């Protein structure tokens, strides 16, 4: 079995916004996916170790900001390689409080989605949160940041907690 085959799957990068009470957080995810059109339903896989997992489990809502291709590595690193347990990741970032009361990051964002969790599925290290769309809009036109572009052009890396992490890759950037 050649696990590198998994690298040929295409993804985009999003910031997932979440809240728990009045605490807010954001993290990078590459697994946002529409799974039903009528009604519109999206899904995202989140590592159980992440603060975002705790927040979505508590509040049953999440947002997804689809990042533009020209997003800087440092912006992605801020949300992808730091923990909201250590810092307030939204400090100094432009965002607004959405329909769900969760933060919608607007910096580097082409479009955002907001969802209320209707099901959550336990899959080993991750939970798939399945949410009905309650808000969505386009913020600006442009090309989205794909995971392939992030890796090949930007030379970005992958944290160990990502569903697409494989051992040989040197995650990091903290």
Q: Find the binding residues for a second copy in span 126-155 (CB under 8 A).
A: 126, 128, 130, 133-138, 143-144, 146-148
Give 2 or 174: the residue with its C-beta nearer to a second copy. 2
Q: How far is the CB of 82 from a second copy (least distance, A)?
A: 20
The answer to whether the CB of 66 falls within 8 A of the CB of 109 is yes
Q: How far is CA 145 from CA 23, 27, 63, in A?
A: 27, 15, 17
88, 125, 153, 172: which one binds a second copy (CB under 8 A): 125
Q: How far is the CB of 22 from a second copy (least distance, A)?
A: 25
Buried b (16+ CB within 10 A) or exposed e, 103-142: bbbebbbbbbbbbbbeebeeeeebbbbbbebebeeebeeb
Compute the chain's Rg from CA coordinates: 15
Q: Find the binding residues for a second copy in span 70-109 (CB under 8 A).
A: none
State yes or no: residue 29 binds a second copy (CB under 8 A).
no
State yes or no: residue 1 binds a second copy (CB under 8 A).
yes
Q: Find the binding residues for a second copy in span 43-72 (CB under 8 A).
A: 43, 45, 66
DSSP string, 51-105: HHHHHHHHH-EEEEEEEBTT--HHHHHHHHSS-TTTS-TTTT--EEE-TTSSEEE
State yes or no: residue 119 binds a second copy (CB under 8 A).
yes
Q: How far is the CB of 91 from a second copy (least distance, A)?
A: 26
Residues of this chain that bind a second copy (CB under 8 A): 1-12, 14, 31-43, 45, 66, 110-113, 119, 121, 123-126, 128, 130, 133-138, 143-144, 146-148, 162-166
């Amino acid at each position: 079995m050649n696990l590198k085959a998994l690298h040929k799957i295409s993804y985009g990068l999003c910031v997932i916004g979440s809240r728990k009470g009045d605490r807010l957080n954001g993290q990078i995810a590459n697994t946002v996916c529409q799974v039903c059109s009528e009604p519109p339903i999206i899904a995202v896989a989140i590592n159980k170790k992440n603060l975002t997992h705790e927040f979505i489990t508590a509040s049953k809502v999440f947002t997804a900001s689809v990042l533009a291709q020209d997003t800087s590595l440092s912006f992605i690193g801020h949300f992808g390689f730091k923990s909201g347990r250590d810092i307030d990741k939204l400090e100094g970032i432009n965002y607004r409080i959405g329909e769900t009361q969760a933060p919608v990051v607007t910096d580097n964002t082409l479009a955002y989605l907001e969802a209320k969790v209707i099901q959550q599925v336990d899959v080993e290290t991750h939970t798939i949160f399945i949410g009905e769309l309650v808000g969505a809009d386009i913020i600006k036109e442009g090309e989205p940041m794909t995971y392939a572009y992030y890796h090949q052009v930007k030379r970005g890396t992958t944290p160990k907690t990502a569903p697409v992490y494989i051992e040989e890759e040197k995650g990091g950037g903290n």
